[in-house]
């Protein structure tokens, strides 16, 4: 059974791990291919699902907004405005990050956890290699490109809204584009990308923690992946609330 002391111990271990990510760095000639591989696995490999979800959720947001605007005095351009605000402020940074906690987070936990189970991490440590730097640092660097994924999600979400709105007969292209351009606040982008960077850090470190410090066998790898998804999602939601209160409140 987990006691408050266990939770405190886990939090302490997590912060020590973060310090160790930057300690005793691995040779650049070894690290470079690891970073490129993680960019491929974590960033490029996620573009398809992110594009698909963003496009269709953008469409759904536009349709829902349009259907709920029953009053004739409400201007039609509000569909574009509401879609833009939903996508930029919350859907792209937060909702996509929760999806990434499932996709990328589970991948990180299970790949590092399998290395732990098969003693590959012990092999690194016996060789005198800082296993945390070797395994987590490339993921951390790869996920600094995460805002690029979120930019694509923003663009495709708004595009999906436009296509659903125009081709579904919910409004004209001119109204939608006018709404998208209405009262544009550049700080909203800054807010969204600040959140994205923080979420990227959580996405790289929390699943790595659950993989690196897992104990047991194959069954525990599965359990660690699930726990990692739950805690990454919880932390994303909590940090989202905190950042929104601080930056927009």
Partner 1 sequence: MIEVKDIHKSFGDAHILKGITTSFEKGKTNLIIGQSGSGKTVFLKCLLGLFEYEEGSISYEGKNFSNLTRDEKTNLRAEMGMVFQGSALFDSMTIAENVMFPLRMFTKQSKSEMEDRVNEVLQRVNLENAHNKMPSEASGGMQKRVAIARAIVNRPKYLFCDEPNSGLDPRTAIVIDNLIQEITDEFNITTVINTHDMNSVMEIGEKIVFLKDGLLEWEGSSETIFRTENEAVTNFVYSSELFRKVRKMYLEEND
Q: CB of 29: closest distance to partner 1 in angstroms?
A: 7
Task: Name the residue nearer to partner 1 (CB basis): 37 or 167.
Answer: 37
Task: Name the residue nearer to partner 1 (CB basis): 97 or 133.
Answer: 133
CA distances from 128 to 134, 135, 141, 177, 200 (A): 11, 14, 22, 58, 29
Q: CB of 100: closest distance to partner 1 in angstroms?
A: 22
Kindly report the backbone phi and psi dihedral angles of residue 2, in degrees, each rounded to the nearest multiple of 5, phi listed first.
-85, 130
Q: CB of 192: closest distance to partner 1 in angstroms?
A: 34
Q: Which of 82, 96, 191 is nearest to 153 (CA)?
A: 96
CA distances from 145 to 14, 39, 43, 92, 199 (A): 23, 8, 7, 15, 12
Q: Which of 83, 55, 53 is nearest to 171 (CA)?
A: 83
Task: Name the residue nearer to partner 1 (CB basis): 9 or 119.
Answer: 119
Task: Name the residue nearer to partner 1 (CB basis): 28 or 187.
Answer: 28
Q: Which of 210, 69, 89 is nearest to 139 (CA)?
A: 210
Q: CB of 40: closest distance to partner 1 in angstroms?
A: 12
Task: Name the residue nearer to partner 1 (CB basis): 49 or 129.
Answer: 129
Which positions touch partner 1 (CB under 8 A)?
Answer: 24, 26-27, 29-30, 37, 118-120, 122-123, 125-129
SS3 of 1, please? coil
Q: CB of 104: closest distance to partner 1 in angstroms?
A: 17
Give CA–CA dist 21/223, Å, rounded: 24
């Amino acid at each position: 059974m987990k006691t408050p002391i266990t939770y405190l111990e886990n939090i302490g271990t997590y912060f020590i791990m973060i310090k160790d990510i930057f300690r005793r760095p691995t040779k650049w000639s070894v690290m470079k291919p690891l970073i490129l591989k993680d960019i491929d696995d974590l960033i490029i490999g996620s573009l398809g699902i992110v594009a698909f979800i963003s496009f269709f959720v953008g469409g759904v947001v536009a349709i829902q907004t349009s259907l709920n605007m029953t009053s004739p005095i409400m201007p039609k351009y509000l569909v574009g405005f509401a879609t833009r605000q939903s996508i930029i402020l919350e859907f792209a940074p937060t909702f996509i990050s929760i999806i990434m906690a499932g996709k990328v987070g589970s991948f990180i936990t299970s790949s590092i956890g399998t290395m732990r189970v098969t003693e590959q991490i012990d092999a690194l440590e016996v060789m005198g290699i800082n296993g945390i730097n070797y395994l987590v640092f490339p993921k951390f660097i790869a996920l600094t490109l995460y805002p690029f994924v979120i930019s694509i999600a923003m663009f495709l979400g708004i595009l999906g809204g436009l296509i659903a709105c125009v081709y579904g007969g919910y409004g004209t292209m001119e109204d939608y584009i006018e709404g998208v351009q209405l009262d544009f606040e550049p700080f909203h982008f800054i807010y969204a990308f600040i959140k994205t960077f923080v979420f990227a850090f959580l996405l790289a470190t929390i699943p790595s923690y659950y993989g690196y410090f897992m104990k047991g066998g194959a069954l525990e790898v599965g359990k660690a992946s699930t726990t990692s998804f739950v805690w990454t999602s919880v932390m994303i939601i909590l940090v989202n609330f905190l950042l929104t209160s601080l930056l927009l409140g």
